[in-house]
């Protein structure tokens, strides 16, 4: 059978790091409030010349280096973002040009914070269908450019960055869920909650880019419920127990969401890769960024069972079970 294997990862952050104390000089907030309510201590903010495409291309280049694969061998680029460089063309095509990949398929996926999960499941399906042999799956964002920097309830929560993985289609023995690769993904959407997390502009409505608006408390409640449900579902479908999981790589929105979700599933906190303290919420970039941190610091190793999960605007949410 054909499975999509993760053969490399990379990530990129803007040069400028912004600690909570710096934000406390701009809006009525404090390091204490931000740390206590979110776990965030720092975020990176894109400067001049740093864009979603440039960060994505840097992350993709590092992922290709880690995989030992040339850009010319990539037949598919799926890039998840809610902050594209331009309304069109797709940022994926810009990345394709920046990294020197020619030909093949390149497009963006818009599922906000769940974007990487949507992109991963899409790329995996296309690889298994034989549409390409190797894919770059990227989550990249510059949320700093859609934040209302006078709204303390949102501007302290987000950061910029990018993460990328290389997926390769390989013929593997049919060992069910014991083998390597992307084993199972589940995606969900519920458009009834648009007004809880959205951007108040767009090309077809206001003709402007707009700013992010969020009713945080309500989003928090939905996030914990939806994430616990989808994690339980992917484990049930694959016949795995929380005990079998080596690492959970969650969307990094709030340390309290990570704790509450892990507790609901009986997963020890030590199995959760946490980067929200240093990166804040980087939307579609947060899962691949955290994954790359876990791989490069030696925690995530070959053979490990990794579960990705995310929830975001739409609402959209999902989870994937992957054996390294």
- Give the footprint of ligand UT7 on this chain (CB under 6 A): 29, 33, 37-38, 113, 152-153, 156-157, 216-217, 219-220, 223, 253-254, 257, 281, 312
Give the span between the Cα atoms of 122 and 179, in whole angstroms.
20
Decide whether 61 or 154 has the Cβ nearer to ligand UT7.
Answer: 154
Query: Catalytic one among 44, 251, 254, 279?
Result: 251
Decide whether 33 or 107 has the Cβ nearer to ligand UT7.
Answer: 33
Instruction: Confirm whether 251 is a catalytic residue.
Output: yes
Torsion sign over Cα 306, 51, 280, 204: negative
Smallest distance, ligand UT7 to C-beta of residue 32, A: 9
Cis previous bond, 315, omega within 30: yes
Among 137, 144, 113, 123, which Cα is nearest to 16's?
A: 144
Name the residue number minimizing CB distance to ligand UT7: 216
Give the span between the Cα atoms of 164 and 61, in whole angstroms.
9
Facing residues of 39 across strands? none
Smallest distance, ligand UT7 to C-beta of residue 33, A: 4
Instruction: Confirm whether 194 is a catalytic residue.
Output: no
Query: Are 91 and 292 spatial neighbours (Cβ–Cβ below 8 Å)?
Result: no
Query: Are 254 and 39 spatial neighbours (Cβ–Cβ below 8 Å)?
Result: yes
- List all residues 6 or more positions away from 58 whose beta carbon is below 8 Å from its beta carbon: 10, 12, 162
The three-point CA angle 205-149-22 to 5° equals: 160
Beta strands 42-45 and 2-12: pairing type? unpaired
Query: Catalytic one among 20, 226, 254, 281?
Result: 281
Give the span between the Cα atoms of 321 and 278, in whole angstroms.
25
Decide whether 5 or 157 has the Cβ nearer to ligand UT7.
Answer: 157
Decide whether 122 or 281 has the Cβ nearer to ligand UT7.
Answer: 281
Smallest distance, ligand UT7 to C-beta of residue 216, A: 3
Decide whether 184 or 198 has the Cβ nearer to ligand UT7.
Answer: 198
Smallest distance, ligand UT7 to C-beta of residue 193, A: 11
Smallest distance, ligand UT7 to C-beta of residue 175, A: 35
Query: Catalytic one among 113, 155, 226, 279?
Result: 113
Q: Which residues are catalytic?
A: 113, 251, 281
């Amino acid at each position: 059978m054909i499975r999509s294997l993760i053969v490399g990862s990379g990530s990129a952050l803007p040069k400028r790091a912004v600690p909570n104390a710096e934000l406390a000089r701009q809006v009525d907030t404090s390091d204490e409030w931000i740390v206590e309510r979110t776990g965030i201590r720092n975020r990176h903010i894109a400067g001049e010349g740093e864009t979603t495409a440039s960060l994505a291309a840097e992350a993709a280049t590092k992922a290709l280096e880690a995989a030992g694969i040339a850009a010319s061998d990539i037949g598919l680029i799926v890039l998840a973002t809610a902050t594209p460089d331009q309304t069109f063309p797709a940022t994926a095509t810009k990345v394709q040009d920046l990294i020197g990949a020619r030909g093949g398929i390149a497009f963006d996926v818009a599922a906000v914070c769940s974007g990487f999960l949507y992109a991963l499941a899409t790329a995996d399906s296309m690889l298994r269908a034989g549409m390409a042999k190797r894919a770059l799956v990227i989550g990249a964002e510059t949320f700093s450019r859609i934040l209302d920097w006078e709204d303390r309830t949102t501007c302290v929560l987000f950061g910029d960055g990018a993460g990328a993985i290389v997926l390769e289609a390989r013929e593997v023995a049919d060992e069910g869920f014991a083998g390597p690769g992307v084993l199972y993904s589940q995606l969900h959407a519920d458009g009834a909650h648009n007004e809880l997390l959205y951007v108040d502009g767009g090309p077809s409505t206001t003709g402007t880019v707009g700013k992010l608006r969020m009713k945080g408390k309500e989003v928090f409640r939905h996030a914990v419920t939806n994430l616990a449900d989808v994690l339980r579902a992917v484990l049930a479908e694959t016949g795995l127990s929380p005990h079998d999981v080596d690492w959970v790589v969650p969307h990094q929105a709030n340390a309290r969401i990570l704790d509450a979700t892990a507790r609901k599933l009986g997963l020890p906190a030590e199995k959760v890769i946490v980067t929200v303290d240093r990166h804040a919420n980087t939307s579609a970039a947060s899962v691949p960024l955290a994954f790359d941190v876990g791989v490069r610091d030696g925690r995530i190793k070959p053979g490990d069972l990794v579960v990705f999960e995310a929830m975001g605007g739409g609402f959209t949410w999902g989870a994937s079970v992957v054996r390294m």
